Amino acid sequence: MTRRGLLIAGLAGAAVAAAIGVPLYLREGGDSGTSGDSGNSGNSTSGSGSSSGSGADGVVLEGPSGVQALTFGADARTLLASGDDGGIWRWDVPAERGTSTRVGIPPYLQPALFTPDFKLLVRAEKNKVISWDVASGRMVKTFDGPPTGKAQEGFVHSLALSPDGETLVAGLSEGLYVWDLASGRQLDIIEGQYSGPLAFSPDGKLLVSAFPLKLWEMPSRRALVTIDEHTSHRIAVFSPDNQLLAIAQLDGTIRLWNAATRQDVVTLKGHKDWVNALAFHPSGRTLASAGRDETARLWDTATGKSTATFTCPNSLEAVAFSPDGKTLAAGLGSGSSPGTKDTVRLFAVP
């Protein structure tokens, strides 16, 4: 089981928009010094950071107790994370300053993602999906799935958001639920599709979904082809040019499939356990993978060879490239030791 499928202690807390101060950087090696101020009023409170060198393990950011979603903003300065501690975390990377806003702890660890404009966090919570305002922590809208009579009925297994930020898709055991994000209006229920990966192509014209793994034309939601009938798929992501689809499988391998020719390209082998996250480099030539085997790997998608491996102290749950392609951010499921929150690593991309 991944952390997204585990029940965590306690019931869901009430959503609280009050922010907490956070220490930002825990860098490896050297003397640490504090920069920035704290005690700002309002919903966001600045934390303090240190300025020592990064060391072999890259820059270490202190953040949530476990990372669910991770993304850079429109430039390489801003990093956003959703935490399993019920917080939305934001860092100004060069300035070593950041904030954390409380939005409440969900009863289950489920998928979460940020909208393309980075204004909303969309998070699954048992049989529903909730959107939250990143700046204030205010709950914006609730998207309800099917009625639930048992704890796991209607459980949301996967989420995807169209590149224009208008269409939200959730994968449940009953099928795919499609909503208009702004209004919350339900657009469709696609039956015969079950829990599995979900991903839009960057141009928004294709959607890969669930089990059986299918490719859909969007926004018409017309089925184009069945990629695979098996249940061995966990995560999927498209390349920036919309052509290549990377699919993480249960055996730790990653399948590269060409969406234009509808043929397999190569299988990437190297992870010793489940792959929990995938991300393409902005150039499209490099793929990053993050796994339960405590490694993040870079792959040349043309040759299928691993070009770099970054080792972390715990299972990785999220991975993201900066828009300039120079930095890889990796989010851990927990800190390096009990009670620590050194859950985000920044690595220079070779």
pLDDT at 187 exceeding the cut of 60: yes
> Cα(281)–Cα(286) distance, rounded to whole angstroms?
5
Please state, in angstroms and rounded to a whole number, the distance separating the CA atoms of residues 350 and 183.
Answer: 43
Residue 51, pLDDT score: 25
How confident is the model at residue 245, as a pLDDT?
Answer: 97
What does DSSP say about strands 206-211 and 194-200: parallel, antiparallel, or unpaired? antiparallel
Digit-coded pLDDT (tens) for 239-286 = 999 999 999 998 899 999 999 999 999 999 999 999 999 999 999 999
Nearest CA to 159 out of 128, 188, 134 is that of: 128
pLDDT for position 196: 83
Of 8, 34, 31, nearest to 23 by C-alpha is 34
Structure token digits, residue 335: 């800190």
How far apart are the C-alpha atoms of 41 and 200, rounded to whole Å?
A: 39
What pLDDT does residue 127 have? 78
Range ranked top by mean pLDDT from 3-7, 85-89, 160-164, 209-213: 160-164
- Summarize pLDDT for 21-54 with one digit per residue, the tens: 222 333 232 222 222 222 222 233 333 222 223 3
The pLDDT of residue 34: 25
What does the pLDDT read at residue 293?
A: 93
Specify the pLDDT at position 13.
Answer: 29
Q: How confident is the model at residue 145 (pLDDT cuts 50, 70, 90)?
A: low
Return the structure tokens found at 40.
């700002």
Q: Which of 152-161, 186-195, 297-306 has the highest mean pLDDT?
A: 297-306
Q: How high is the pLDDT of residue 45?
A: 32
pLDDT in tens, 65-109: 899 999 999 888 999 999 888 889 998 887 766 688 988 887 777
- Predicted local distance difference test score (pLDDT) of residue 5: 39
How far apart are the C-alpha atoms of 108 and 52, rounded to whole Å? Answer: 37
pLDDT at site 275:
95
With residues binned 3-state (H G I as helix, E B as strand, rest as coil), the percentages for the chain, rounded to 5, are 0, 50, 50
- Please say if the pLDDT value at position 163 is more than 90: yes
Please, which pLDDT band fits residue 12 given cuts at 50, 70 and 90? very low
**Residue 18 is inside which H or E element, if any?**
none
Cβ burial of 301 (10 Å; 0-12, 13-18, 19+) is buried
Give the pLDDT confidence score for residue 156 in this predicted structure: 86
- In 3D space, the residue among 175, 99, 87 whose CA is nearest the CA of residue 123 turns out to be 87
Q: How confident is the model at residue 207 (pLDDT cuts 50, 70, 90)?
A: very high
| Contacts for 145 with CB less than 8 Å, ≥ 6 apart | 127, 128, 129, 154, 156, 170, 172, 174, 177
% the chain with pLDDT above 70 = 80
Mean per-residue pLDDT, 328-334: 94
pLDDT (0 to 100) of residue 220: 93
In the predicted structure, residue 318 carries a pLDDT above the cut 60? yes
How far apart are the C-alpha atoms of 345 and 46, rounded to whole Å? 20
Which of 141, 139, 138 is closest to 43 using CA atoms? 138
Structure token pair of residue 284 = 């499209």
| 143: confidence class by pLDDT, cuts 50, 70, 90 | very high
**Within 10 A of 41 (CB to CB), how many other CB atoms are there?**
6
Looking at the DSSP bridge assignments, the partners of residue 284 are: none
| Mode of pairing for the β-strands spanning 87-92 and 78-83 | antiparallel
Average pLDDT along the chain? 80
Can you give the pLDDT at residue 27? Answer: 29
Task: Give the bridge partners for 175, in sequence order.
Answer: 172
